[in-house]
Amino acid sequence: MNKQKCSSAIGSSAYFYPVKVVGDKSMEENIYVKQVKKLRKKAENSRNAYFMLTKRYKFYSNSLHFFILVGSTIIAILTFANFDVFLPLIKDLTDSTYKLSIGLIASSVFILTVIEEFLKLSNKSSEYESSGKQLTSFIRYADSVEKRENINDEDLAQLTLYYTLICESTPIIPDKFFFKAKRQLYRKIELSKELEKNPDTILWLYKVKRFRKEVNSLFKKGDIDKNDEGK
């Protein structure tokens, strides 16, 4: 599986370097603003991916904890009970089968505990969450830089260095989550623009319409591909 370092997508760099523009000052500032926005957008995409990974690993970790806790509770109950207590429920239950069942449950709990310790899901979740929070701080700082009346070379260099250091210290993002987060970001931007045009937009209805539009687009693309093959 291919992976991305911070938000350096395929075909683009995660790092930007100030470009000195000689000539019109307003044009120079405009280029700086564009680079700040580009950095912020990449940071937003990476942040979304990190928080997405945080939720995923937290879910896995909590699920393992739940099964381990339930399994341990069942073992504790069964250990101090005799098999004949369960005869009204399971008529063919024998002492050997009862002990074997306890052993299997205990083995399952042990295996889950080893998996949890080996994968360190909770640690990974915390690491991704910390990375997302670092990028949140960067985004706030980028917003403050963008709102300045005059952005110069030094401002952009400092912002670029800040972003580069975050990228170097944060874990790698798998392609699957990177592009999924990117898709979600563009959808949020699209929805935000729609709400600016029409504040009374019904969100769930808008999402249904967009989904239908995407499905129709896929079918049209399939028809075009078939026609091309026929030629």
More confident residue, 215 or 181: 181
122 exposed, middle or buried (CB, 10 Å; 0-12, 13-18, 19+)? middle
Give the model's pLDDT for residue 13.
40
**Structural domains in the chain (count):** 1
Residue 226, CB half-sphere, CA atoms under 13 Å: how many? 6
Does residue 163 lie within any of the structural domains? Answer: yes
Distance, in Å, from the CA atom of 157 to the CA atom of 19, rounded to the nearest integer, reads 10
Residue percentage of the chain with pLDDT more than 90? 41
Confirm whether 144 is domain-assigned.
yes
Range of the domain at 32: 3-173
> What are the Cα distances from residue 152, in Å, to 6, 28, 35, 67, 133?
25, 9, 12, 56, 27
Predicted model pTM: 0.71
pLDDT digits (tens, 9 = 90+) for 186-219: 777 777 777 778 877 777 777 777 777 777 776 6
Q: Report the C-alpha gap between 181 and 131 in whole angstroms.
A: 15
**Closest-CA residue to 44 (of 72, 9, 17, 11):** 9
The alpha carbon torsion through 153, 158, 164, 169 (nearest 10 deg) reads: 180
Instruction: Give the integer Cα–Cα distance in Å for 21 and 32.
Output: 10
Residue found by looking up tokens 């603003």 in the block: 33
Strand partners, 173: 4
Domain assignment present for residue 118? The answer is: yes
Domain contains 52: yes
Domain membership of residue 68 (yes or no) is: yes
Band (12; pLDDT cuts 50, 70, 90): very low
Two tokens at 126? 């915390």
Element (H, E) at 32: helix 25-79
How does DSSP assign 45-83, residue by residue? HHHHHHHHHHHHHHHHHHHHHHHHHHHHHHHHHHHTS-G
Give a yes or no: residue 132 inside a domain. Answer: yes
What percentage of the chain reaches a pLDDT higher than 70?
Answer: 81
Closest CA to 7 of 172, 129, 134: 172
Domain membership flag for residue 214:
no
Per-residue pLDDT at 69 exceeds 90: yes
Residue 133 lies in a domain: yes
